[in-house]
A = this chain, B = another copy of it.
Amino acid sequence: MTEQRWLSPQELSAWKKFIAVVELLPGALDSQLQRDAELTHFEYFTLAMLSEAPERTLRMTALSAVTNSTLPRLSHVASRLEQRGYLRRSPCPEDRRATNASLTEAGWEKVVHTAPGHVDTVIANVIDPLTPTEVESLGFLMGKMLAKLDPENKFRARDADTEEQ
């Protein structure tokens, strides 16, 4: 048995603010997207990740990794997006046991029309409250946490520095 550690007052103060943001931010993103595009943030993120992929297509397993989702959760959402005409699933030509997800033309249009309002929400809630130096600090601190939360870099967010945008 090692001795139980507790949070210091400074740590507790930082933690309470952080968990408040972690709980409030998804609601802010969802509200805007639901109101303006009838999409959850996860649905938008799924379409956006496909929009950035070569030929706007990814294997479902790869799409679940980049959206940090389990395959069952992604399948459920993909099914809803397919019914709305934004996404199409088909057998992978290289491996018939695998399934590809592709963005349809309507899905591409949806991303193009939805992105501006979503980006405005991110800027208003996350970027504009901070100075450019603080935005850099935010990325640095989150990178350190991700090394623990996502040790295998499954979510690929730690690559963001080195990506060409």
| Chain A interfacial positions (CB closer than 8 Å to B) | 4-7, 9-26, 28, 68, 116, 119-120, 122-130, 132, 134-139, 141-150, 155, 157-158, 160-161, 163, 165
Contacts and interface: CB of A to CB of B under 8 A. Distances in A.
Nearest to A127: B11
Contacts of A19: 157
Interface of A is mostly: helix
Contacts of A137: 137, 141
10 closest A-B pairs by CB: A14-B139, A20-B157, A17-B142, A16-B160, A13-B160, A129-B144, A24-B149, A9-B165, A16-B157, A20-B155
A70 to B, nearest CB: 10
A120 B1 CA distance: 13
Given A13-B160, A135-B10, A126 B23 contact: no
10 contacts: A4-B119, A9-B165, A10-B135, A10-B139, A12-B160, A16-B157, A18-B139, A23-B68, A25-B149, A125-B148
B123 A13 contact: no
Given A6-B119, A22-B22, 4 more contacts: A17-B157, A22-B26, A25-B145, A130-B141
Contact of A145 (B9, B116, B129): B129
B21 A149 contact: yes
Nearest to A23: B68
A33 B144 CA distance: 23
A120 B2 CA distance: 12
